[in-house]
Structure 1
């Protein structure tokens, strides 16, 4: 059995669900446009440049979850899936995931975006296993903080290896390991798998992939 890892934003999705979730809340009037839109854009540019302070960003992204009930948040998330996310899912991305699932591979979506936003997206792709940044909850309501290690950069390696250990698996359990990603931020995990694949990569990842002979593909 192979281990197959998929980054989500700008890899399986033609867009960034983290960024779009904040924009959606701004459009709904939940977040003040004047206060939040410029910050959201700035954080997104920092992410693309590889300079993002993940804890500063998570404070920005998770705090709004603590101000509303889970029932209300779930309703907004359903609307977000219909109005934003489904339009970011391409047929080639669905086909890629389906090929690996049909082959019997262990498929995991591994993403820095929090699990509240991404769990329905993983289900849309038919992927059972999701490793994501985890918002803290108390009695089913979000506190605005994060639980454990954020699933970002080296944190993706930490979270994945912890997940494998919990299932009594390790890298050696699998015949081969694949990771599909678009981002320079995923170089730590791309360097751990036996088959790294650059998907519509940013300039830094494209250069690295070309230098190391990694496959480059598009899902657009």
Structure 2
């Protein structure tokens, strides 16, 4: 496909969307939010015990929609009544102590490969927006689309602003972003481990099942999507594919 030329860089945009939990990092980021809340006395030991059990299940057997939805609801309740400034500081702390050591280097390298091609790299995750933004900023990515919580006078209410970014909601916000930036979804990329993200993966022209659960693996095999186990050989092949097939975008100043 020939490159689209324009005086605006947004018209040339190619977007790469990355899931976070068990794709970019090991485990569920919302668990670390709950753990830090427990350290600060915001939640009790019974709440953290539930989060710990769900973290164990998530790592061992993959995402369970019912359990993860319950965990996210409690996470939203945790943030209610706290200032946005305080929660960004909390997110910075859990990034350094908990998220950074659990990042998958293979997936992070893929994200950076896209950046090297001039692509915009966006996290698309059900985790709260303020956590997703910190992860994206620390990794030097373009931005993050996460679950938003209403704020009033700088204080979060604990009520959702929109929907939890899960399943079809991820595909919807990714499509909206691509349209706003003038990106052709056929040239965009998406990476995820979960069958719940099949709508997101289906929306783009280049799909990669990373560390995939059984249902996503079967789906990807049937449709001929790339499957990326987290090992050195598969990483090299995935990076070669990005270099070989992905359109290089030359950055120009926005007007």
In the aligned structure 2, how far is the partner of 1:50 from the partner of 1:68? 27
Q: In 2 relative to 1, CA 155–45 (structure 1 residues): closer, same or farther, beyond 3 Å?
A: farther
TM-score (norm 2): 0.75
Correspondences of 1:58-207 after superposition (within 5 Å): 58-167=72-181, 169=182, 173=184, 176-207=187-218
For residue 113 of structure 1, report the CA deviation from its aligned partner: 0.9
In the aligned structure 2, how far is the partner of 1:74 from the partner of 1:155? 24
In the aligned structure 2, how far is the partner of 1:175 from the partner of 1:204? 24
Asked if the contact 1:137/1:143 (under 8 Å) is kept, the reply is yes
In the aligned structure 2, how far is the partner of 1:128 from the partner of 1:195? 19
Q: Which runs of 5+ in 1 are unaligned?
A: none
Greater C-alpha radius of gyration: 2
**Count of residue pairs brought into register by the alignment:** 216
TM-score (norm 1): 0.85
CA deviation string 1:80-118 (max 9, x = no partner):
111101101233222111110010112211111111111
Asked if the contact 1:59/1:144 (under 8 Å) is kept, the reply is no
Out of 31-40 and 110-119, give the one that drifted further: 31-40
In the aligned structure 1, how far is the partner of 2:67 from the partner of 2:46? 21
Q: In 2 relative to 1, CA 146–191 (structure 1 residues): closer, same or farther, beyond 3 Å?
A: same
The correspondence for 2:36, drawn from 15, 24, 41, is: 24
CA deviation string 1:1-55 (max 9, x = no partner):
532111111111122211222133234432101245326645985981344584x
